[in-house]
Amino acid sequence: MKRLSSKKAAKLFEEALHLHQHGKLAEAEQIYRKALEVDPTHFDSWHMLGVIAIQAGMPA
């Protein structure tokens, strides 16, 4: 089951990354968070949430 959740998280991540690259930060953030609901260990989603926080000027 872990492998299926990892694949689903990766698919969500790709969708979020596409939105992120097109400047749709709020939408990307929501989908990164969905990926983390599916797989809380999905490092790339955690990383990109941090990138969004920096881009949005949010405090660490």
pLDDT digits (tens, 9 = 90+) for 13-57: 999 999 999 999 999 999 999 999 999 999 999 999 999 999 988
Structure tokens at 45: 């989603």
Cα–Cα dist 14/31, whole Å = 9
Q: 39 near 9, Cβ under 8 Å?
A: yes
How far, in Å, CA of 34 to CA of 7, rounded?
13
- The per-residue pLDDT for 15 is 99
Q: Crossing angle, helix 43-55 and helix 2-21, to 10 degrees?
A: 20
Tokens matching residue 22: 């097109």
